[in-house]
Chains A and B, each alone.
Chain A
Amino acid sequence: MASQGDEAEQRQAVIKCESVYKIFGNNAQSLLQNAQGKIDAKDALAAGCIVGVNNVSFEVSEGELLVIMGLSGSGKSTLLRCISRLTDATGGKIFVDGQDLLTMNSKQLMEVRRDKMGMVFQNFGLLPHKTVLENIAFPLQVKGINTKDSIERAMNMAELVGLSGRENYFPRELSGGQQQRVGIARSLAVEPDIWFLDEPFSALDPLIRKEMQDEFLRLQSVLNKTILFVTHDFDEALRLADRIAIMKEGVIEQLDTPANIVLDPATEYVRKFTQEVPREKVLKIEDVMDPYDSTEEMSDIKVSKNAIIEVVAEQILSQDKAVGVVDDNDNIVGSLHSSHVINVLFGNRSQEQQG
């Protein structure tokens, strides 16, 4: 864990937010001036304001995938729109690659968007009058790249997201999943460093969503971008995230790795949020293993400490003796007994019923 932290410090934060606020309403400024730290939602309401984002600070490092989670209306989109400056934050500081985003003029902002940022929208946001290819090429053409080059590049992007053969279709002729592929291709066309995705798969039905998540993971493994990904689907968050930020009423309640959030919820809200989550899908072996005791008799099987419990559970359960846990270099670092796994799988629920 400690080594991870060091790494993050060495790399420069690509996105950095320092107590960012977004308050809707006419009295936003005065409300902000009187506020110290978090603004009370009731005070805001009394002043005729709605708090969208409330004193949010965090950093995202290069190549990291941060998922922002929360219920509807918790301010996820608003936060994302602040960081892309689709709306102006009411207060706080936002840095992108060390540049202060909020002091940029519209020309600088345009440059940043043209070169560094890509965004995918929940309802796709495709231009209805343009074909797949033209839609993908649009950000390039806006930049002033000539038609031939931009279309060529768009062709490549279409192939990358699996839209070959449909380049000349119009958005209305595509299924939801295909439309979102166009959205993804368009957002990647300018080869941005930072990739924003606002509930990109929410409008899709479950099967397609799964397929698109796989697709997304495949793309990310190739491209390795810095990503802010908004979703209200916890399963999705778990599948994709390096870290998860859980928001409630504009506040980030907890920002941590999936395992830590499940194992160690910071607030009651987060605990409630995570209680239905199947732990075996989240936790890795290292999160639940016992310290290695060289006296104990071990079974022949070894499992990696990075394996997700669900994947290896059957193996472990089939053993009477404890199973050895090994790190990447095959050194034994812990042990795990099948009763412990059963506890993770079922014990949690029964504890709750008692409690």
Chain B
Amino acid sequence: MPSYLKSSKAIQFGVLFIAFFLLNALIGPSESNYLWRLPPLLKDIPFLINDLVRGLMFEWMPIDVYDPSIDEYEQKPLFREITRAISSSFSFVINAVREFILGGSKTIVAFSSWDFIKENPWAVWPALPWTVVVGWAMVLGYKLQGRNLAFLTGVAGLYIAAFGQWSPSMQTLSFILIAAPVSVFLGLALGVFAYKSKAVEAFLNPLLNVAQTMPHYSYLVPIIVLFGVGDHAAALVTILFATPSMVRLVLLGLKNVPTDVVDAGRMSGCNDFQMLFRVLIPTAKRDVLIGVNQVVMQCLSMTVIAAFIGAQGLGSNLLIALNSLRIGTGLEIGICIVLIAVVFDKMSLAWANKQTDYFADLSFTKRYRHFLIMAAILVGGIVMAMIGSIIFEEDFNYFYIVPHNKGLTTAPFWQAGVDWVWDTFFYTLKSFNEWLITGVLVPMRDAYLAMPVVATFLLVMGTAYILAGLRSALIVGGFLLFIAFSEYWDRALITMYMATFAVVVSGIIGITLGAACAQNTFASKAVLLFCDFLQTFPSFIYLIPVIMLFGITDTSVLIASLAFASVPATRFTVEGLRSVPPVLQDAGSMCGVSRLQRLISIEIPIAFPHIMLGVNQTVNFALMMVIIGAFIGTIDLGQLILKAISEPQGTGIGITLGVCVAFIGLAVDQIIRTWANKRKLALGLN
């Protein structure tokens, strides 16, 4: 490349754009021109995957299985037996937790196989009064952090119980209580393996990348095929989704254990086991526990999506409410999910930051104080429930369990609010909606669809080359090639246009807001706290208020995406700008620059790599939201994935589509990350 081309990125981009527009102008739509669209060479992939799965499930490795009902051995495929076994054990455990809190008899029957219980309908394990469960949770909160967390937990519990969401909440809780520990355990095990062996790490890394960028939906279909529908399947999907970040954090934590500590362990004569459990993992404890926090949050964000494959609980209720446009109810359920998420988030973070006091020599009552209090709560709660049954003789027992949807409700109020908004602002909203769609979105979409495939490749790979270098350009090209050879190029373009729109707008919002807030210590703290809060919301929650305002349209999806994706851009901008060394700011001030000059010429360039990482997350968040938006009727890859759930060929299609979306995300990730790292190196950060 001639040197004058290398000299300036602006010139390079100029050349790139000219070439891009020329290609656009020269190549028109035509079925046979490969420059316009590549042939779908890979269109058989979904079928191959289907065949593979079918083979695994129904033909591969038949084994003899004893069937007690006919008292004979039968040939059954091994794989299906395994998946069946997993399914049934998960179902059993989830149900056991559920019955422990909400009452029931299946678990007891399974353990004892007493006919007595089967025959006597009154013989069931009674549900725990909600007061007991909430009381226990408060004790836990108190033990982990103190009075504030206990109070928060209490308020959340009270809300959930009083608004008649107790049973669905506990149902949701029961599968989280299974999915989270399994994910944590798996993550820990895989993380340790990856730490021990470079080969395992190299093998896991790309898998983790794809798993973390695959949209949640695309896991659903294969899970249905392999494990059926129900709470256990939901738990498995959740595990699949939540484990990767745990693996990442465990690996990171272990790698960050100082070499001196590792050496000290070895010189103390630790064997491998002692090394792992007494030196490495305890030293990496903080990262591991942050991983636990991530797992819990991921699990909660899956509640709604898990409802698609039969998870009972808040998620499915929310879906039903939204489907029937009962916005008020939807909002109340949404608040339940957020409350649970916030409480779990605070609890697991408190756990991560908690420091064990080994040596405080406590007396018996002090050491077991919490258990004693919990026992007291149990007794107290039962007594209260009994008193309740007398007080609320006519009504249901407020002190025991408020039946689903029978508690307080503010739904009519919200419904009235929505109606009022619609009545008052109908024309404003409608015209805004129409303007956005006809004035911005449709032209943008058409422009994307009118790009010949070579032009797209040129633009993306050229950008990658200029910003991140040849290697990145080739990697990105590989990702794109997969999509271009699949049947879904046009759909992918639509996904990309929505994501681009969301990223550009939320990038602008986030960076501006972040830069403004970073000017002031108090504002920075406040905005970071608020971002924390918003990030605990499962993504689906963002859809509720926008549907209230805009109904079920592309606009809603985009606005939800904007809200969702602005959060990381804002947070990383504030963090980046706040971490500019004060020395540099002083140096700038001493040179007599104005506040604005300082921001533009000193702070932003230094914070730039960090801000770009925020933008990277913004891209991923926007993609995720756009795909989730399919639920309320956009026509991109997401919608196809959603459709695939109910199709016989769904497995292969679902996975392929998921991989397509993941590749879009990974391509952007590749460019931005490499670029940010280069900038960091150039600035001598790190």
Contacts and interface: CB of A to CB of B under 8 A. Distances in A.
A3 B279 CA distance: 47
Contacts of B258: 123, 125
Contact of B283 (A117, A129, A187, A190): A129
A126 B264 contact: yes
B202 interface: no
Interface in B243-294: 258, 260-271, 274, 278-279, 282-283, 285
A134 interface: yes
A118 interface: yes
B266 A170 contact: no
A131 B359 contact: yes
Given A124-B260, A125-B260, A127-B283, A84 B278 contact: no
Centre residue among A118, A129, A134, A190 by max chain B CB count within 10 A: A129
A222 interface: no
B358 interface: yes
Contacts of A123: 258, 260
Interface residues of A, number: 35
Interface of B: 258, 260-271, 274, 278-279, 282-283, 285, 355-356, 358-359
Centre residue among B260, B266, B274, B285 by max chain A CB count within 10 A: B260
A187 B260 CA distance: 13
Nearest to A117: B267
Contacts of B278: 127, 138, 142
A65 to B, nearest CB: 19
A133 B268 CA distance: 15
A127 B279 contact: yes
B287 to A, nearest CB: 12
Contacts of B262: 125
Given A86-B263, A119-B264, A134-B358, A128 B283 contact: yes
A190 B285 CA distance: 27
A86 B355 contact: no
B267 to A, nearest CB: 4
Nearest to A170: B355
Contact of B268 (A129, A139, A167): A139
Nearest to A107: B271
Contacts of B279: 127
A125 B269 contact: no
A208 to B, nearest CB: 18
Contact of B267 (A86, A126, A131): A86
A122 B267 contact: no
A69 to B, nearest CB: 21
Contacts of B264: 119, 121, 125-127, 183, 186
Contacts of A122: 260
Centre residue among A124, A139, A142, A190 by max chain B CB count within 10 A: A142
B263 A121 contact: yes
Given A125-B261, A127-B261, A86 B266 contact: yes
Contacts of B268: 113-114, 138-139, 142, 186
A118 B267 contact: yes
A129 B288 CA distance: 14
8 contacts: A113-B266, A126-B264, A127-B278, A128-B261, A131-B358, A142-B268, A142-B270, A170-B355
B260 A84 contact: no
A168 interface: yes
Shortest beta-carbon contacts, A-B, top 3 = A125-B260, A114-B269, A125-B264
Centre residue among A122, A125, A167 by max chain B CB count within 10 A: A125
B282 A126 contact: no
A127 B282 contact: yes
Contacts of A113: 266-269
Centre residue among A118, A167, A170 by max chain B CB count within 10 A: A170
Centre residue among B263, B268, B271, B278 by max chain A CB count within 10 A: B268
Nearest to A110: B269
Contacts of B271: 110
A142 B285 CA distance: 20
Contacts of B356: 129
A84 B267 contact: yes
A271 interface: no
Interface in A35-87: 81, 84, 86
A81 B263 CA distance: 9
A16 B263 CA distance: 22
A248 to B, nearest CB: 24
A210 interface: no
A118 B356 CA distance: 28
Contact of A126 (B261, B274, B285): B261
A190 B264 CA distance: 13
Given A110-B270, A119-B264, A121-B263, 4 more contacts: A121-B260, A129-B285, A130-B358, A186-B268
A79 to B, nearest CB: 14
Contacts of A121: 260, 263-264
A143 interface: yes
Contacts of A183: 264
Contacts of B285: 129
A133 B361 CA distance: 14
A324 to B, nearest CB: 50
A139 B269 contact: yes
Interface in A172-210: 183, 186-187, 190, 196
Centre residue among B262, B264, B274, B355 by max chain A CB count within 10 A: B264
Contacts of A129: 282-283, 285, 356
Nearest to B272: A106
